[in-house]
Every structure is written in structure tokens, then in C-alpha cells.
Amino acid sequence: MPHTEAVDAARRALWSHFVHTDNQMFYDYWWGEPGFVHLPAPELICREVPNAAGWGTGMENCALNAAQVLPGALLRHDLAPDDQTEYEARTLFLGLLRLFDVAVDAGFLPRGVGLDGVSHYPNSSADQYTMVLYGLHCYARNSIATAQERQSVRDIWQSVLARWERDGWEDRREDGAPAMYGEMNRISADRASRLLAALLGGFAVTGDAHWQKVYRRKLEEQDYARLRTGVPRVDGALYVLDQNQVAWRLLWE
């Protein structure tokens, strides 16, 4: 199969089996039965069944999924602009906005919402934020972004960083309880570049000089330890390499 045909086939599969266009969510699993009937009901989500992150439900990585595909959708629109490519990029973006809009605690990023478009599990993760902030950055720089959409990106970024700073650079659960995988401040290979990218990106997007000052402080902490520990082992988990590449890309841009 020629390369372009393979890309088109993958694109059709994504939009036919993973994206729920009504609530603009990019769900996790390919299910043949229409309607995404496998997703948990709102009452189960409220009870944190089967777990606080929704792992195994099919809605545990909606934020990460959409944010990973969004830069490619924007590139496709740049190369071959038409109504469909613009619709796809904006749908993914609006899904990310929806996640922040339904959050009770401003700046919290739900992993995904149920079929009611609101219900969500209370535990996010550093991985979700890393991908989403980069996706928002790409969208805000693109020609299809409206002034209102760019302002939404600025507001989101400001809220995310303010929430982390409030909680000692930890991404806590939406209800304020300790979270799994929420340690944003840890100086380690799987975290160091993530916080730096969020802070420097936050300054670039919002223009708030406070985040530039915090970035410099975190950069220089312990004799630039985040630079020295920010490259994961090549035999480590693939997702860590993936996340770090995105963080370094954002820092570079």
C-alpha cells in the first residue's frame, strides 16, 4: 500500500472507531459496536469504578490521545487545507477545551468525559498534561485558531500553572487528595523536562513574567540538575521517551 493510502486508512480508522464527534472525545479502544456502549455510566464514574483514573474503561487517555493527533491534524490542514481538515483539527481542540471546562477545580485536566459529556474520573497524570500543553501550543500558533481560542489557551495554561504552584508543584486529584503520577516537581528523568516545558511554554503563551522567573529558578535548581537528569535511559519505558521528546520539543520551540 502506498504511503499516502496507508495514512488515509489510519485517519479513517481513527475517526470511524475512536472519535466521538458529539462530545469531541478521542476514546481509547476500537469497538465494532456503534455508540461507544462500552464506556462506564456516570454513576460508576462518580463512584470511581473501577479506579480513580478510569484505567481499563476506554476513557483513560482521551486528553493524551487527542493531543497526540492534533499536531498531525494541523499539519495536514497546512499542507492540504479544506473544510474537513479544519473540522478535524478544531474538533480535537474543542475536546481538549471541554475537558478543562468540566473541571470543578480550575486548571485540573480530566483524562476524558463519559457519554454525558461531563462525568470524569478525579485522577489525571503528568503524561496527560505534557501532551495536552504541547497540543494547545501547536493549535494556538496555527492560522485556524481564532482570537477567542487563543485566549482560551492562555487562560488554561495560566490556570494549570497556578494550580500546580498552589499545591507545591504537585498535580493533585480534582478533590485535592494526593494523586497517582502527579509529582511535577521531581528531579528525575521522567519529570525534569516536563515541568520546565510547562513553565517556559506558560511564559511564552501567557506573557506572564512570573512563569519565566519560576522557570529560571527550576532550571538552575541544584546546579541545573533538571538538565543533567532529563534524558531517560534508552532501555526505559517507551512512553517516557515519547513524553520527554514532546517536552523538549516544546522547550525548543
Residues 20-64 have pLDDT tens digits of: 999 999 999 987 777 888 999 999 999 999 999 999 999 999 999
What confidence tier does 238 reach under pLDDT thresholds 50, 70, 90? confident
pLDDT in tens, 183-203: 999 999 889 999 999 999 999
Concatenate the DSSP letters of all residues of the chain into one string. --HHHHHHHHHHHHHHHTEETTTTEE-SS--SSTT-TTSPPHHHHHTT-S-TT-TTTT-SSHHHHHHHHHHHHHHHHHHS--HHHHHHHHHHHHHHHHHHHH-SSTT---S---TTSS---S---HHHHHHHHHHHHHHHHSTT--HHHHHHHHHHHHHHHHHHHHTTSB---TTSS--TT-B-S--STTTHHHHHHHHHHHHHHH--HHHHHHHHHHHHHHHHHHHHS-S--TTS-HHHHHHHHHHHHHHH-
pTM over 0.85: yes
Q: Which range among 55-64, 85-94, 167-176, 237-246 shows the weakest confidence by mean pLDDT?
A: 237-246
Residue 1 has pLDDT above 70, yes or no: no
